Amino acid sequence: MEPAACTAVIVAMLSCSGDADAGARRRLAAAQTVERAAPLAGAGDGNGNGGGGETRAPAGRARYYGLLRARDLTFFSLPHLDMRPAHAVAVGPGGWGLEAQAGYQNTWSLSREVERYLVGLPGRRELGPQELAAILALPGENYLIDAEIGLLDVTAHYKLSGHWGVYAIASAVSFSGGVGDGTIERFHDRFGFSSFGRKALSRSRVNVVLDLRDAQRVSLGSPTRGGMLDPTIGLRYSGLRLPERWNLVLEAAVKLPVNGRREFLSTGDAEPGLQATLQYFGDRHALYAAVSAVRYGADDILPGNSRRTVPTAVLGVEYRWSERTHWLLQAYASRPWRSRRETDLTDLTRTKYQASLGVYRAFGSTLLSFAVTENLQNLNNTPDIGLQLGLAWVPTLRD
């Protein structure tokens, strides 16, 4: 081949190669742009979609489930609205989900004067007229709450659009005497903790004694056989644009009185609440922070609780142990039952602190959760221990 012809062939080959490389670079740049625009698992509806409203997490992105959605089981909170933290499951427009949460708590809360009195009694006994008279004769304000509570929440979720969703919650509660009393007492004995006067009273009984400035009540035996709590309806929005891996879910909810005022079950008033849940989704873990405020209605049991705004904060971290199994640790803090203007009992004016350790396990479209909740620091204004078992059915989990 002549030198001039060789030169022409080489120039043509280099030109084709340059065009191919440029095309490849353009295709790569376009793919990277799409990848950056693709939302993370769950925002927009509580799973990292940055408000984009995607129906599922992009391939290769981790899926997360969010904070535990079990309600606060503190004895005096049951008649009131409780804001459950937002979930972190990606659901597209028209998507839906059903979840059921079963909760159990054992409460032994009492003032220090009552504790001293019970610790000084020999043996066990049912709380009768003689013991009741002695408690009511103690100096200052006093109280005793000895009960177990079982709760069932059923929640239906529906995604209206890419950014808006609604939900409705129906709840039933039962009161029992204390099948877990013996287990808790053995645990205290095993690790050298005080019994706090538990051993003075018979197990498996419900006892409520309030001798406060503005609340006097005595109930020996179940205060009520239980029943339905007021239903809750809520609206959820997740369309705010945030940096990659971040998501913010805003909610408004209201508890609707359907059968008037019912002791330990309903205040008889509509109670509104607002909540914001901030979520961060990493490769192996997710971080959550939720803050809420509920406007309490009337309260016949604790009149000082009426018409006040109760703030609550929840922090949590979810660890992706495997594709189907996640661990969750979360902490809870909420305003106490009373203020210092209303009572001299410091246990009732201190912030409520609780911590939960839980696990999620996914089976196709089904999500199973289990958690143990323990009270912290201020032990006389929250349940001693709580258990939560949840089951959710979400068709998009299979995707």
Convert the pLDDT of each residue in 290-315 to its tens digit: 999 999 887 766 665 567 888 999 99
Q: Regarding beta strands 142-159 and 96-110, do their DSSP bridges make them parallel or antiparallel, or are they unpaired?
A: antiparallel
Distance in angstroms (rounded) separating the CA atoms of residues 49 and 43: 3
Q: What is the pLDDT of residue 15?
A: 45
Per domain, the residue ranges of the chain are 75-398
**What letter would DSSP give residue 87?**
B
Distance in angstroms (rounded) separating the CA atoms of residues 300 and 2: 106
Distance in angstroms (rounded) separating the CA atoms of residues 348 and 302: 11
**Mean pLDDT calculated for residue range 345-366:** 89
Of 298, 230, 226, the closest CA to residue 82 belongs to 230
Convert the pLDDT of each residue in 199-210 to its tens digit: 777 777 788 888
Q: How many CB atoms lie within 10 A of CB 44?
A: 29
And the tokens for 301? 């049991």
Question: What class does CATH assign to 75-398?
Answer: mainly beta
**What letter would DSSP give residue 310?**
E
Contact predicate 238/278, CB 8 Å? no
Distance in angstroms (rounded) separating the CA atoms of residues 279 and 162: 18
Helices (H), the chain: 3-37, 112-119, 129-136, 181-190, 346-349
Residue 379 Rama label (left phi>0; alpha psi -120 to 50; beta): alpha
Convert the pLDDT of each residue in 121-173 to its tens digit: 888 888 888 888 999 999 888 888 888 888 999 999 999 998 999 999 999 99
Contact predicate 234/250, CB 8 Å? no
Q: What is the pLDDT of residue 62?
A: 73
And the tokens for 154? 């059923």
The pTM of the full predicted model, rounded to 2 decimals, is 0.78
Q: Regarding beta strands 271-281 and 366-375, do their DSSP bridges make them parallel or antiparallel, or are they unpaired?
A: unpaired
Q: Which amino acid makes up residue 335?
A: R
Convert the pLDDT of each residue in 68-107 to its tens digit: 988 888 888 888 999 999 888 888 899 999 999 999 888 8
* Mean of pLDDT over the chain: 79
Contact predicate 307/273, CB 8 Å? no
**Mean pLDDT calculated for residue range 238-250:** 93
Residue 11 has pLDDT above 60, yes or no: no
Burial environment of residue 188 by CB neighbours within 10 A (0 to 12, 13 to 18, 19 or more) = middle
Give per-residue burial for 367-379: e unless 16+ CB within 10 Å, then b: bebebebebeebb
Q: 304: which residues sit within 8 A by CB, 6+ positions away?
A: 214, 215, 337, 338, 339, 342, 343
Contact predicate 194/284, CB 8 Å? no
